[in-house]
Amino acid sequence: MNTNGTNQQTQKPSTTYTVMLCIFFCFLLRLSIGAISQFSNWLVQEIKLSDSPVFISLYYLDYFLWFVFGFWSIILALKVSKHAIPCLKLCLPFHFIAILITGLSRISFINLTSSWLSLLIVLFPLIFFIYLCSSKEINQAYPKSERSLGLPGLIGIALYVLLALLSIQMMIADISKRQNSKKIDAAKIELHEGELTDGRAIFKPNETWILDSCAVLNPVQDAFYFHDTVWPSSIFIVCATEEYEPLRYNYIYSISENQPDELRRFYKDDIDFKEIETNENVIYVDQYFYQADSTTYYWTYASKLGKKLEKGIRLSIIEKDSLRTTIEDAIEFLDRSSLNIKDRLLKKD
Superfamily of domain 186-346: Mog1/PsbP, alpha/beta/alpha sandwich (3.40.1000.10)
Q: Where are the domains of the chain?
A: 2-179, 186-346
| pLDDT at residue 105 in the model | 43
- Nearest Cα residue to 169 out of 305, 308, 51, 65: 51
**Sheet with 233-241, side-by-side order of all strands:** 209-211, 223-228, 233-241, 311-320, 295-306, 281-292, 267-277
Distance CA 70, CA 126 (A): 14
pLDDT values of the chain reduced to their tens digit, one per residue, 349 residues = 444 444 444 456 678 888 889 989 988 888 888 777 666 666 666 676 666 778 888 888 888 899 999 999 999 998 888 899 999 999 999 988 888 776 544 443 334 444 566 667 778 899 999 999 888 888 888 888 888 888 989 999 999 999 899 888 888 877 777 766 778 888 888 888 889 988 889 999 999 999 886 555 555 566 889 998 888 899 999 988 887 777 777 788 788 888 888 888 888 888 999 999 888 899 999 999 999 888 999 999 999 998 888 889 999 999 998 999 999 999 999 999 999 888 888 765 4
pLDDT at 92: 92
Residue 301 CA to residue 285 CA, distance in Å, equals 6
* Residue 77 CB neighbour total at 10 angstroms: 22
Question: Residue 56 is inside which H or E element, if any?
Answer: helix 53-78
In terms of phi and psi (left: phi > 0; alpha: psi -120 to 50; beta: otherwise), the region of 344 is: alpha
**pTM strictly above 0.85:** no
pLDDT at 10: 46
As a whole number of angstroms, the distance between CA 128 and CA 90 comes to: 12
Q: What is the pLDDT of residue 296?
A: 93
Q: What is the pLDDT of residue 263?
A: 87
